[in-house]
Amino acid sequence: MDNGHKTGNGVSTAICGTAPVPAEEIEAICAQFGNDKHRMLDILREVQDHYRCIAPATMDHVAASTGLTRIEVEGVASFYSFLSLAPKGRVTIRLCNDIVDRFSGVSEVACVFEEELGLKIGETSNDGAFSLEYTPCIGMCDQAPAAMVNDIVLTKLTPETARSAAQALKAGRSPEQLISERFEALTPSERALHMVDNNIRHAGEVLLGPVPEDAGLAKAATITPTQIISAIEESGLRGCGGAGFTTGRKWRFAASERAEKHFVICNADEGEPGTFKDRVLLTERPHLLIEGMTIAARAVGAREGILYLRGEYVYLRELLLQVLEERRRRGLLGKDILGVKGFDFDIRLQLGAGAYICGEEGALISSCEGLPGEPKTRPPFPVNRGYLGYPTVVNNVETFCHAARILDKGAAWFNAMGMEGSHGTKLFSVCGDCLNPGIYELPYGHTVRELLAMVGGEDAAAVQVGGPSGTMIARDSFHRKLTFDDLATGGAIIVFNGERNVLEIVEYYMSFFVHESCGYCTPCRVGNVFLQKAIQKFRKGLANPEDIDYLKDLSGTIIETSRCGLGMTSPNPVLTTLKNFPLVYSAVIKPSKDGIRDTFDIQSAIDGARKIAKRRSYIFDKDFTQ
Amino acid sequence: MSGTKRETGFTFTIDGVEITAYAGQTIMEAADEAGVYIPRLCDHEGLRHQGSCRVCTVKAGGRSVAACTQPAAPGQAVENETPRLTKMRRDLVEMLFHEGNHLCPICEASGNCELQAMAYRLDMTEATRFPYLEPCRALDASHPDIALDTNRCISCGRCIRASQDVDGKGIFGYVGRGIHRRVAVNGENLADTDAEVTDHAISAEVCPVGCIIRKRVGFTVPIGEREFDHGLIGHDIEEKRK
């Protein structure tokens, strides 16, 4: 396996396009962002969009303009999946190869694109027109298989629709025209809804039912920051991203930190395969989200906020920018909000560039600072020293939306819903083998079986609760409850019927974590590769009974020694399936015979030497007719 | 970051041994001063703490933390040399061996290599169970005095921090992500940078393995006189207690 990075540093790199990019053009891009090194991600995204890659020469210009070294720029450019040091096609087609998309036929769709464009997955056409590649979960599992074509999202692809899309693109139509002939005339909201269905199957009382405009913010403006925090604390609201930290406490910590500035950041980087609830809120309730952020800002005394949107949701950028602009116009953002003297707050939209790890609080902050998306050392915690060293509240989209509703309807109203320790409602994004994939807003406390009945997934054989980093359960656990104390979840519920191969699912999830590990710490960077390889061994039928212990042992080391939540949960697909589907593993393991390991293939071991020596092995050659 | 206010000292224990620490000290800093060795690879005296190799993982307050970045806390009971921790550290060191190409018998760092010495200290005496990833990265021998073989790199980043913070140059940096993450130089190759053999980042002290190679000085110290021929890695710290 070549685990080296293929670009730069001694290895020749293709230059973007044909002509070198003039320095003035790059300098102009940097100037757009004030030559601010903290805006590196925006700068590089802009360069990538213009020139389809970030070539070595352009990195030199970017470094010069922002006062960094070239290697620092390269560190960022080489970290994010959507940035590339080698030229990409003018149209880049990224097919989502999440497990749900695989089970929905993405490989047939891929074949059609390969055939029509004359490219293999991973290739860019010689004329620079097209790139074709796979990408991990893009948040469209309820309408798989899906793809990103530049900034456009195509959903529910079939070989037929893929063929007509590929032919239209080849004929020179723009990706936008694939969505609508009059794309330009549509509003940002109409554009989003043309591309992506929101599939709201059950609207609950808090988020997806009728929501009055800015009632929570109006309330927040009339009470003190301390009273806002108390209300959030009394409601029992816990973070909806997965970790479940008490929101009120987080705000209180940040508010009590004395500093020149405070920040509020919204984590709209849901990247857990199978989750798409924030996508729905961002489309359907963008005002409620900004309202929640504004309330948080008043609570902790922040004047600046950042909405960090995952790169996969770039199709929502215009919509969100429009909402921010509208709220500025209406005096709901900016100076003296709602006429309250000193209540100043504004938000900048920060787009990610394809990195799951940026959903981790510290990595998200690093990314906002223009750095590679690497988690930060804790302590200090973000509430003490976060974005640029200032106290920072990071909450996810759903949490902010809840907070706005709590201010409007009161803490007791919210607290009465759900169960002890898990109050209020939760958005579940359900996908996979069920009749009605989509969004369900339910109070905490439903059992998995009840949820399966609602979604038409009664014949499920396995359910992945909380995405790959969560728990995979079998039929004998469907009585368990969806709460923080039993089956905790950020919202992703993936249903698998009896036809699905559990080990295939586990292998995909491990490959996902290998792809998405930031690489900072040893156990996550290296250990996950070993876990993935070990699962491959099981799938090939080459595993021994001792390999079960190996899986558990290695998983234990990765969990205990990893630096952040990714490595602390990445072995979960292995561990939870070992626990809940033991027969799947024992069915494929074989004891070694005669002390010879099945995994050791002498033929392939000596093959290299055999070729060099140009001689056959009379002992080990099986086939003398070759 | 040694505490400046020495009067605010407090105590905690490591494996039952009472240790005095000062406000702002990490567990490792306090342990080093007290003569208790906590194994580490990415941490190095005089450089910022990074906490990436995880070899210094200890148990503190029931949680696994990196001793090099975790602040010491009054009254805390820290576990360091337990069979479980030693085993996990050995796993991590094995991972580093398997991630790169570490051909100890032909490496000029042999005997002076911290990775190799750590393997000895942690009793890595048997064949390992992990698969070899066998990277194949180009050797950068462009510089007149320095060569770089990143196949032997363990991504400790000590050269990065030494060059940035001590030499004020920024010759090295990380590129890529995940298993593709690696140390690279600030230019097309090393000759393209302002690296000098006299840089702190290039010194044998900073690179713990045989990745940064100073040309024409290899294999000069005979076997028996190399750094770790005299004692296990960490013995210099442990001798403070005797």
**Residues in a beta bridge with B12:** B19
Chain B residues touching A362 at Cβ < 8 A: none
The 3-state DSSP composition of chain B as helix, strand, coil percent (nearest 5) reads 30, 15, 55
Among candidates B53, B95, B185 on the partner chain, residue whose Cβ is nearest the Cβ of A9: B185
Between A and B, how many CB-CB pairs are < 8 A? 153
Q: A561 vs B92: CB contact, 8 Å cut-off?
A: yes
Query: A513 — phi, psi (to 5°)?
Result: -65, -35
CA distance B24 to chain A (A): 11
Q: B138 vs A74: CB contact, 8 Å cut-off?
A: no
Candidates A264, A267, A263; CA nearest to A282 is A267
Question: A519: left (phi > 0), else alpha (psi -120 to 50), else beta?
Answer: left
Distance CA B163, CA B158 (A): 8
**Is residue B93 classed as helix, strand or coil in its secondary structure?**
helix
Q: A4 vs B180: CB contact, 8 Å cut-off?
A: yes
pLDDT reported for residue A20: 80
Strands (E), A455-505: 460-465, 471-474, 492-497
pLDDT reported for residue A3: 43
Chain A residues touching B91 at Cβ < 8 A: 523, 527, 554, 557, 561
C-alpha distances in Å from residue A431, one per residue of A148, A321, A493, B103, B192: 19, 29, 6, 49, 52
Candidates B45, B41, B65; CA nearest to B154 is B41
Among candidates A4, A79, A530 on the partner chain, residue whose Cβ is nearest the Cβ of B177: A79
Distance CA A235, CA A213 (A): 21
Pull the structure tokens for residue A288.
Answer: 């409620």
Helix (H) or strand (E) holding A130: strand A130-135
Chain B residues touching A563 at Cβ < 8 A: 51-52, 54, 66
Nearest CA in chain B to A55: B188
Chain A residues touching B64 at Cβ < 8 A: 560-561
Pull the structure tokens for residue B147.
Answer: 């060569």
> Quick check: A238 and A247 in contact, CB under 8 A?
yes
> Quick check: A320 and A364 in contact, CB under 8 A?
no
Mean pLDDT on B193-210: 97
Among candidates A78, A533, A550 on the partner chain, residue whose Cβ is nearest the Cβ of B176: A78
**Which amino acid type is present at position A91?**
V
Strands (E), chain B: 10-14, 17-21, 57-60, 63-66, 77-79, 146-148, 172-175, 182-185, 212-214
- Sign, Cα dihedral of A281, A286, A288, A290: positive
Q: A519 vs B177: CB contact, 8 Å cut-off?
A: yes
Identify which has the larger pLDDT, A602 or B43: B43
The set of residues, in sequence order, having a beta carbon less than 8 Å from that of A360 and lying 6+ positions away, is A375, A564, A565, A566
Among candidates A525, A550, A561 on the partner chain, residue whose Cβ is nearest the Cβ of B64: A561
CA distance A77 to chain B (A): 8
Query: A510 — phi, psi (to 5°)?
Result: -65, -40
Question: Residue B70 CA to chain centroid, in angstroms?
Answer: 17
Candidates B48, B52, B40, B5; CA nearest to B24 is B5
Among candidates B49, B95, B187 on the partner chain, residue whose Cβ is nearest the Cβ of A523: B95
Candidates A436, A564, A572, A504; CA nearest to A98 is A504
Q: Looking up tokens 């950041």, which residue turns up?
A: A265
CA distance A374 to chain B (A): 9
pLDDT tens figures, A459-470: 999 999 999 999
Q: A557 vs B138: CB contact, 8 Å cut-off?
A: no
Among candidates A72, A525, A561 on the partner chain, residue whose Cβ is nearest the Cβ of B181: A525
Q: A4 vs B174: CB contact, 8 Å cut-off?
A: no
Distance CA A509, CA B5 (A): 49
Among candidates A56, A72, A529 on the partner chain, residue whose Cβ is nearest the Cβ of B179: A529
Chain B residues touching A70 at Cβ < 8 A: 186-187
> Quick check: B153 and B115 in contact, CB under 8 A?
no
pLDDT tens figures, B211-239: 999 999 999 999 999 999 999 999 999 99
pLDDT reported for residue A19: 62
The set of residues, in sequence order, having a beta carbon less than 8 Å from that of B123 and lying 6+ positions away, is B86, B90
Candidates B180, B175, B212, B239; CA nearest to A78 is B175
DSSP letter string, A502-541 = HHHHHHHHHHHHHHH----SHIIIIIHHHHHHHHHHHHTT
Q: B179 vs A527: CB contact, 8 Å cut-off?
A: no
Query: A111 — phi, psi (to 5°)?
Result: -60, -40
> Quick check: B39 and B89 in contact, CB under 8 A?
yes
pLDDT reported for residue A603: 76
**Which amino acid type is present at position B40?**
R
Q: B180 vs A5: CB contact, 8 Å cut-off?
A: yes
pLDDT reported for residue A10: 35
> Quick check: A59 and A70 in contact, CB under 8 A?
yes
Distance CA B159, CA B21 (A): 28
**Is residue B237 classed as helix, strand or coil in its secondary structure?**
helix
Q: A526 vs B99: CB contact, 8 Å cut-off?
A: yes
Helix (H) or strand (E) holding A153: strand A152-154
Chain A residues touching B88 at Cβ < 8 A: 556-557, 560-561
Question: B219: left (phi > 0), else alpha (psi -120 to 50), else beta?
Answer: left
Pull the structure tokens for residue A214.
Answer: 């800015």
Q: A557 vs B155: CB contact, 8 Å cut-off?
A: no
pLDDT reported for residue A14: 42
Q: Is the pLDDT of residue B5 over 60?
A: no
CA distance A254 to chain B (A): 20
Q: B177 vs A560: CB contact, 8 Å cut-off?
A: no
Q: A5 vs B189: CB contact, 8 Å cut-off?
A: no
Chain A residues touching B99 at Cβ < 8 A: 3, 522, 525-526
Where chain A has pLDDT below 70, the residues are 1-19, 594-600, 621-626
Q: Is the pLDDT of residue B1 over 60?
A: no
The set of residues, in sequence order, having a beta carbon less than 8 Å from that of A113 and lying 6+ positions away, is A93, A95, A119, A132, A162, A166
ipTM for the predicted complex comes to 0.96
* Exposure string for A504-519, b = 16+ CB within 10 A, e = fewer: ebbbbbbbbbbbbbbb
Cis upstream peptide for A380 (omega within 30°): yes
Q: B181 vs A355: CB contact, 8 Å cut-off?
A: no
**Which amino acid type is present at position A487?**
L
Kindly report the three-state secondary structure assignment for every residue of A377-418.
CCCCCCCCCCHHHCCEEEEEHHHHHHHHHHHHHCHHHHHCCE
pLDDT reported for residue B7: 63
Can you give the pTM of this predicted structure?
Answer: 0.94
**Which amino acid type is present at position B152?**
R
Mean pLDDT on B82-93: 98
Q: B135 vs A355: CB contact, 8 Å cut-off?
A: no
Distance CA A96, CA A421 (A): 36
Q: From the candidates A2, A83, A515, A526, which should be mutated to test the interface with B, based on the most B CB atoms within 10 A?
A: A526
Q: Can you give the C-alpha Rg of chain A in angstroms?
A: 25
Q: A69 vs B71: CB contact, 8 Å cut-off?
A: no
> Quick check: A467 and A494 in contact, CB under 8 A?
yes
Among candidates B172, B179, B185 on the partner chain, residue whose Cβ is nearest the Cβ of A525: B179
**Is residue A164 classed as helix, strand or coil in its secondary structure?**
helix
Average model confidence (pLDDT) across chain B: 95
CA distance B222 to chain A (A): 32
Candidates B90, B234, B20, B188; CA nearest to A523 is B90
CA distance B53 to chain A (A): 5
